[in-house]
Chain A
Amino acid sequence: MNTTDLQTPLKRARGLGSAKDGTHHFVVQRITALALVPLALWVIWLALALVRADYARAHTIVHQPCAAVLLTAFVIATFWHAQLGLQVVIEDYVNSRWLEVTAQLAVKFFCAVGALASVLAIVRIALG
C-alpha cells in the first residue's frame, strides 16, 4: 500500500475499485444464482405439468397463488441474473465504445421490459 496515500484501508475498500461498484455486481449475481437453483428446478417441473395442458388447465395451474408467486420470483431473478451476465459478456467482447454502450443499454431495456411484461402477465393470470 502506498504510504503517501491518505485514504484508510476501509476507504479504499469502499472506493469500489475500477468498476466503481465494488463487489456489488459479483454479490448480486451470486444471490440471484442461488435463488435460481430451486426456482429453475421448480419451473422445469411446472413446464412438464404444462406439456399436455390446454389453455384452461394451464391457466388454472399458473392461477394458483403459490405458482404465481414462485413464477414471479423466477422471472425477476432470471432477468436480473441475465442482465448481470450479459453485461459482463459485452464488457469482455465488445471493443467499440459506442457499440458497447448501445449493447449495454439494449440489454438493460430488454431485461427490464421482459421482467415487467412477464410479471404483469402473471398478475393478470393470477387475478383473472
Chain B
Amino acid sequence: MARYGMTCDQKLCVTCNACVLACKNENQVPEGAARCWTVQEEKGAFPLLSIATRSERCNHCENAACVSACPTGASHYEAGGIVVVSADKCVGCKACILACPYEARYVHPDGYVDKCTFCLHRVKKGLDPACVSVCPTGALAFGDLDDPTSTVHKQLQARKAEVLKPDEDTRPKMFFLT
C-alpha cells in the first residue's frame, strides 16, 4: 500500500505562489480561501539575515487530528494516507478546523469543510498534484514515501528534512528539506 507524501525543498522555493494559483484553478478553490500558501520566515538582523522559504498545505498526517475529531467520519483516510473530506457527509460542525494545528482547512461557500486533497483525482490518473506540476523552481515533489525509487523517498534519505509542529504528534507527511 502506498504512503503518499510531499517534499518542499526550502533551498529552491522562492515563494512565487504559482502553486497557490495552480491549485486554485485545478480545484476551483473559492475566492478568499487557499488550499496552499507560501511562507517567508525571516531571521536575524541586518546584515546577518536568512530566510526560510516554503510552500505549505495540509500535511495529510498519519495521525490526523481532524480525522479523530470528525463526528460523522466525513474526514477520512483515502488509499495512500491522503486525508479527504467527503462533502456529502460533512455537517459543518467545524470541529476539524479547530483540531488542525496547521489551520489547513476552510469552510466552502456550499457549507462543507474543504482542504488540500493532494489532488487525489490527478494522483489516480498517475499525475502529480497541480502545485507540484506547475512549480517553476522544481521545489515540490510528490510520491510514495515507501517506494525506494520515488523522488521523495530518495530526497528524504539524502537530505535533512523537518516537519511543521512535530510536538503535535500528528506525524505529517509533508516534509521540508533544509
Q: Tell me whether A and B are bound partners.
A: no
Task: Report which A residues bind B (CB closer than 8 A).
Answer: none
Task: Report which B residues bind A (CB closer than 8 A).
Answer: none
